[in-house]
Structure 1
Amino acid sequence: MLRRRAHLGCAQSSCDYTYKIVAATKTPSSKRSVRKRPAVGQTYLAAPSGSSWIERRDRSIRILQVPALAKLPWLVHGFSTRPGGVSHRDGEKVLNLGFAEWDSRENVLQNRRRFQSALDASDFELISLKQIHSDVIHLLDAAPTAPCQGDASATNRPGLLLGVQTADCVPILLVDPKKHAIAAVHAGWRGTLQRIVAKAIGKMQMQFKTKPADLLAAIGPAIGGCCYEVGTEVAIQFQSQFADAPEWFDEFRTGDEPNPIQWLDMMPPGHQPPPKNVLLDLRKANRAQLLLAGLRTANIFFSDLCTACRGDLLFSYRKEGATSGRLMSVIGIR
């Protein structure tokens, strides 16, 4: 169990674009059931939450996908993982997709080219905002000509690959299959507190006439409620904003302490003070916001992979510190 506190799970990134190479993978057939035998180069993963995710492989690169999104022939999407790149980290080659002091720019650009090739999206223009843990959302008709700040982007234009970088925070991909509109959202605790995913849906409603009940949402790997320790000042902020907040928190445990935490609903005086640190499940918080915004339960696809627990597969800023790599979650229209 991690004991130190850190408020930012993801480092900031700049607005940058990738280049083109020949793709060599196949998109899953829209007629293929997730229960059937997978195609060569693909493995089906059964998530603990009960939904199935596809693991798409191209050489040593492993990309997580949602079957409901993968079967849309006009859509490309994927959640990157750790293996398969040209960056060197602790004696292993990793797919670091974010610029960092410990890695070269050339390595990161090569990793991004490999990632896009594995998705058969080499001809897309990758858009990665400078993430600032905000509720700033960009509606894009074309690729920005200058660096831009924000934590979500949306479009209905083909050829743009919307990306968010994470190393603990929650990546959320939104798809309107009727209006052919998409969004990519980066939700740290600050963005979650500011309801960024709900606001992104609101932007899609206004701009693309999206109906929330039509939306598909994929919540990718992030740090889980098992590992994401925050101070009680964060918990109090959530309590003041969300009636369901106690369901997203748990006491920081080293044994079999009671669950869920009770102090959030306690009224003074005479009660014991709250613990100094608590555990927050950001994925549950964002799933609750999606439901409240009007999405159908069956249209929300939730990965239970924890970045801090799965160091073999994912990057975690909370666990690895400043030398952590960056994952990228992308979505685009062909």
Structure 2
Amino acid sequence: MNKLDLKVLDKQEDFFIINGKEFNIGFTNAEKERSFNRNTEEGIKELNSLKEEFGANEVIYLKQIHSDKILNYIENGKSIKDEEADAIITKEKGIIIGVFTADCVPIILVDEEKKVAAAIHSGWRGTYESITFKTIEKMKKEFSINVKNLKAYIGPHIRKCCYEVSEELKLKFIEKKTEIKKEDLFCGRNLNLEVCILDDLKKAGIQDENINSIDLCTYCSEDVKLHSYRKSQGSYGRMFSFIILR
């Protein structure tokens, strides 16, 4: 896995940008306190502003419910903005697809050969249910991607240093994630969401050199301002992680 530090990223004031030949990926931060909450008027305004900033025809997102449900987006098809799910797959060019987070894990997947992309929201429930693995399987089945070409980008999220969970939830994860070493999965009651995501990616066949992670914790990062639901005790600030195919 490649840990992407701030020197590697094309860091704008409001975004971490990753530019590929066939795509642009953005992970928003909170440096300007911009919130991309779909449930507020200001949040919708911020989301729509991405069209001009990134030259997109549309910005597509979901009503996230902490599930393992995955939807495909087809341009000029049925709107999915009010559909309940936690991952989007598309092959449409010039369309931003993205997910909202404020501690949960955002994952972006892209196959530049087949020109297929996905955006995933993985909280503890989605992580427990392996939504990342299931998204890749759907991409294989419905878009015939070659997983050897698939690249994964894991955005800022609450990390093992700060994510304490209940004893009950700890036991559930230990019972479910049997192939992950207990000492890697937990430190006390602090859960490592990323190690579960990495397990899913590797089980799906993604090569280690194609896995990338921005090594920032939403809760304790001092280098960059990030929205943290837990740290702010439930405020409505949201980050938006997205990809646009070119």
2:200 is matched with 289
Q: Does 1:313 align with 2:225?
A: yes
1:1-334 correspondence to structure 2 within 5 Å: 49=3, 53-57=8-12, 61-66=13-18, 70-72=19-21, 74-84=22-32, 94-100=33-39, 104-105=40-41, 107-118=42-53, 120-121=54-55, 123-142=56-75, 144-145=78-79, 147-242=82-177, 243-246=179-182, 247-251=184-188, 278-310=189-221, 313-334=225-246
Highest relative contact order (Cα 8 Å, sep 6+), 1 or 2? 2
User: 1:223 & 1:112 partners in 2: Cα distance?
Assistant: 23
Query: What is the identity, as a one-letter code, of the residue corresponding to 1:158?
Result: K
Mapped contact 2:156–2:217 kept (Cα < 8 A):
yes
* Structure 1 moving runs of 4+ over 3 Å: 48-53, 113-118
Query: What is the identity, as a one-letter code, of the residue corresponding to 1:65?
Result: I
User: 2:170 & 2:8 partners in 1: Cα distance?
Assistant: 31
Please give the TM-score of this superposition, normalised by the length of structure 1: 0.67
Query: What is the identity, as a one-letter code, of the residue corresponding to 1:71?
Result: G
Name which one, 1 or 2, has greater alpha-carbon Rg: 1
Mapped contact 2:157–2:217 kept (Cα < 8 A):
yes
Q: What secondary structure is seen at the aligned counterpart in 2 of 1:198?
A: helix
Please give the TM-score of this superposition, normalised by the length of structure 2: 0.90
Gaps of 5+ in 1: 1-47, 85-93, 252-277
Q: Deviations over 1:38-93 (max 9, x none)?
A: xxxxxxxxxx9366631332xxx421133xxx132x31220001023xxxxxxxxx
User: 2:181 & 2:36 partners in 1: Cα distance?
Assistant: 33
User: 1:109 & 1:321 partners in 2: Cα distance?
Assistant: 23
User: 1:284 & 1:198 partners in 2: Cα distance?
Assistant: 13
**Percent identity over the alignment?**
33
Q: What secondary structure is seen at the aligned counterpart in 1 of 2:137?
A: helix
Query: What is the identity, as a one-letter code, of the residue corresponding to 1:76?
Result: N
RMSD of aligned residue pairs (Cα, Å): 1.9
User: 1:115 & 1:309 partners in 2: Cα distance?
Assistant: 27
Q: What secondary structure is seen at the aligned counterpart in 1 of 2:100?
A: strand
User: 2:105 & 2:232 partners in 1: Cα distance?
Assistant: 17
Query: What is the identity, as a one-letter code, of the residue corresponding to 1:75?
Result: F
Mapped contact 1:316–1:324 kept (Cα < 8 A):
no
Gaps of 5+ in 2: none
User: 2:8 & 2:59 partners in 1: Cα distance?
Assistant: 23
